[in-house]
């Protein structure tokens, strides 16, 4: 029983560090989890020894370690939606001239599981494996609007355009449901606009979001409708392919 309790506490610490958007120190972890500081220190050292957490830039704070990233890569590479979506990302880049990406829900945020960059010198630089907020990104809002993903308790302000009021966000999500796609109008990053649409599995559940990101000088108001149609078509066809693959697999 003692070993099970130790394991549970170690997992709690790992979850806390994973959900944080900054490095966490031993004292803060101990306060949040209401654990003895010496116990937390011992558990953090153990997690660090096995590569699950690591000090951040030589500070006393900790972030996720290399082992977690290795596991994440193994997980991402086995996800059928990631590989199935890849051709659609390349198509979106060709059609729109903007960067394209696929995201899923993970630990209270949107996890980018694939990125294809555009060739333009001025472009939005992505990064596979990064976690981004739900409430102020196109892929995040698509996941919030079309699945049972919970709305974050705290809506942090990233730019002057970020929605930080829950009632306003709820109304905004309803509009997203009506139009079928989500639009990030410089809400996560100044000078960047993004569009995304939900991807459904064979049971009709929204399991991912696919979208594009570009600078405001190219993703202009008069292009939004055209870009949205390209994203919606890619999401619809990707969903159809995932459903067909599941049906085919079930017949074997």
Check whether residue 122 and residue 18 sit in a common domain.
Answer: no
31 or 78, higher pLDDT: 31
Check whether residue 208 and residue 164 sit in a common domain.
Answer: yes
**Residue 57's pLDDT is what?**
83
179 or 247, higher pLDDT: 179
Check whether residue 133 and residue 242 sit in a common domain.
Answer: yes
**Residue 66's pLDDT is what?**
82
Check whether residue 152 and residue 58 sit in a common domain.
Answer: no
**Residue 78's pLDDT is what?**
52
Q: What is the tens place of the pLDDT at every residue in 201-225?
A: 887 889 899 999 999 999 999 999 9
What is the domain extent for residue 57? 2-67
Residue 17 lies in a domain: yes
Residue 156 lies in a domain: yes
Check whether residue 168 and residue 212 sit in a common domain.
Answer: yes
Check whether residue 61 and residue 86 sit in a common domain.
Answer: no
Check whether residue 13 and residue 135 sit in a common domain.
Answer: no
Residue 196 lies in a domain: yes
Distance CA 106, CA 131 (A): 8
Residue in 188, 150, 183 with CA at minimum distance from that of residue 166: 150
Residue 15 lies in a domain: yes
Residue 97 has pLDDT above 90, yes or no: yes
Residue 97 lies in a domain: yes
β-bridge mates for residue 200, sequence order: 206
Check whether residue 112 and residue 203 sit in a common domain.
Answer: yes
Q: Three-class SS of residue 240?
A: helix
Could you tell me the CATH number of the domain that includes residue 11? Answer: 1.10.10.10
Burial environment of residue 212 by CB neighbours within 10 A (0 to 12, 13 to 18, 19 or more) = buried
Q: Where are the alpha helices (DSSP H) in the chain?
A: 2-19, 26-33, 37-49, 66-77, 80-96, 138-146, 166-179, 221-251
**Residue 72's pLDDT is what?**
66
Q: What is the tens place of the pLDDT at every residue in 103-148?
A: 998 878 999 999 998 876 555 666 778 889 999 999 999 999 999 8
Could you tell me the CATH number of the domain that includes residue 133? Answer: 3.30.450.40
193 or 128, higher pLDDT: 193
Q: How many domains does the chain have?
A: 2
**Residue 128's pLDDT is what?**
79
127 or 232, higher pLDDT: 232
Residue 74 lies in a domain: no
Distance CA 160, CA 183 (A): 16
**Residue 252's pLDDT is what?**
45
Q: Name the average pLDDT for the chain.
A: 88
For residue 252, give Cα distances in angstroms to 238, 248, 249.
22, 7, 5
Residue 73 lies in a domain: no
């Amino acid at each position: 029983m003692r070993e099970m309790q130790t394991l549970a506490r170690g997992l709690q610490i790992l979850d806390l560090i994973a959900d944080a958007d900054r490095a966490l120190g031993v004292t803060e972890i101990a306060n949040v989890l209401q654990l003895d500081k010496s116990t937390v220190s011992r558990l953090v050292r153990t997690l660090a020894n096995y590569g699950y957490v690591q000090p951040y830039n030589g500070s006393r704070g900790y972030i996720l370690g290399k082992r977690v990233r290795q596991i994440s890569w193994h997980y991402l590479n086995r996800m059928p939606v990631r590989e199935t979506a890849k051709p659609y990302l390349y198509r979106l880049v060709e059609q729109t001239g903007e960067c394209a990406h696929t995201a899923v829900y993970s630990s209270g945020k949107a996890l980018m599981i694939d990125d294809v960059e555009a060739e333009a010198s001025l472009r939005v630089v992505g990064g596979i494996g990064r976690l981004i907020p739900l409430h102020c990104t196109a892929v995040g809002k698509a996941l919030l609007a079309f699945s049972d993903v919970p709305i974050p308790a705290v809506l942090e302000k990233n730019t002057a355009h970020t929605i930080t009021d829950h009632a306003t966000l709820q109304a905004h999500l309803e509009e997203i449901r009506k139009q079928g796609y989500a639009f990030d109008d410089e809400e996560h990053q100044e000078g960047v606009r993004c569009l995304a649409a939900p991807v459904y599995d064979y049971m009709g559940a929204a399991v991912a979001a696919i979208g594009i990101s570009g600078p405001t000088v190219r993703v202009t108001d008069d292009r939004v409708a055209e870009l949205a149609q390209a994203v919606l078509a890619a999401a619809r066809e990707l969903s159809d392919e995932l459903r067909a693959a599941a049906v085919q697999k079930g017949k074997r």
